[in-house]
Amino acid sequence: MTDKSRSVTIGSYLALAFAIVFFSGLLQSNQWYGVFDFTTLNGSFGTMVQSVSENGDGLKTAMTDMRGKGGNGARDGFLFALTLIPTVMFALGMINVLEHYGALDAARKLLTPLLRPLMGIPGNTGLALIASLQSTDAGAAMTRQLKDEGLITKRETDVFTMFQFSAGATIVNFFSSGAVLFTLTLAERPHLEGVTIKLTREAHKPAMVPSEGTKALMAIVEECGQELGLPIRWQEVGGGSDANLTAALGIPTLDGLGPIGAGFHSDEEYLDLASIAPRIELLVKVLTRLAA
C-alpha cells in the first residue's frame, strides 16, 4: 500500500481543483482556454474518404475514420484497441503528474466522507469518476492504476467499475441532453412571477418517406436511364426541399433529376456542364413514358 500519511498542503488542493476542471469538460472548447481541458487536448482522429458515388444531386462522398466501417473479429478489435492507446497514455500521464503534486491525497481527504457512505469507495477514486464523465477509457485507466498501486481493494474496484459501467452513460447523457430537455419541458412554468413563455413552431418539413408510387416512379427513371446508358439508381441523402411537402401528401415524388454537381449552397458549388444534355434527355424520356 502507498503511504497514506503524506500531508495535504495547499498545493495538493490546487492540484485537485485543476484536476477536477481538467477532466470535467467545463473548459472543452476550441478557444485558448481549451488547453486546460482533457478532451480538447486529447483531440480526435481525422477522416478519410471511404467511397464516392453519383446520384441525382451530384457526387456523394462517404467519410470514415481510421477504423473504417463494417469490421469484425480480432482484426477490428485490434484497430479499436489502437484508438484507445493515446487516450489511456495521456490520462495516465496526467494522473501521475497530478499525483506528484498531491491531488490524490487531497481527493482522499475531501471526498472520502462523501463517497464512502454513498458507494463504499475511498475519495481517491473521485478523479476517475470525474474523468469518466468525459472519457470512459480514461476513467477505466485511472481505476486500473488505483488498483495496481493498492489504493483501492478488489471489492472497491468491483463496486466502482460496476458504477462506471451502469451509471456513467446515464450521467453523461443527463449533462449533455437532459438539461436542455428539462428546460424545454418546464418552459410553460417559468420561475419568475409574471413571466410566461410560449413555444411556436413556424415551419415544418416532414420526413420524405418513399411511397409505393414513388418507388414505381423511380423504377421508370432507372429503366429510362439504362436505355440511355446512364447509371441512375436510388440514393438516400440528407437535407430537405419542397419535395418533402408533396411526398407527405402521397404524391409520387423524386428529388434530384438535374445535372451533376456538388458543394450546394457554398462558394465551392459547381455544375458539370457535360451532364446537362444527358439529364434533359432523361427527363424527356421519363415524361414521354409517363404520358404514354
Q: What amino acid is encoded at 265 in this protein? A: H
Kindly report the backbone phi and psi dihedral angles of residue 8, in degrees, each rounded to the nearest multiple of 5, phi listed first.
-100, 120
Q: What is the pLDDT of residues 39-83, one digit of tens each?
A: 788 777 777 776 777 665 666 677 777 677 767 777 777 777 777
Contact 155, 122 (CB under 8 A): no
- With a cut of 90, say whether residue 281 has pLDDT above it: yes
pLDDT at 2: 44
Q: Residues of the chain with pLDDT > 70: what percent?
A: 80
pLDDT at 167: 55
pLDDT at 123: 82
Distance of alpha carbon 89 from alpha carbon 93, whole angstroms = 6
Q: Report the 3 state secondary structure along 33-54.
A: HHHHCHHHHHCCCCCEEEEEEE
Task: Return the C-alpha cell found at 46.
Answer: 481525422
Q: What is the mean pLDDT of residues 238-243?
A: 74
Task: Return the C-alpha cell found at 227.
Answer: 436505355
Query: pTM of the full predicted structure?
Result: 0.46
pLDDT at 1: 39
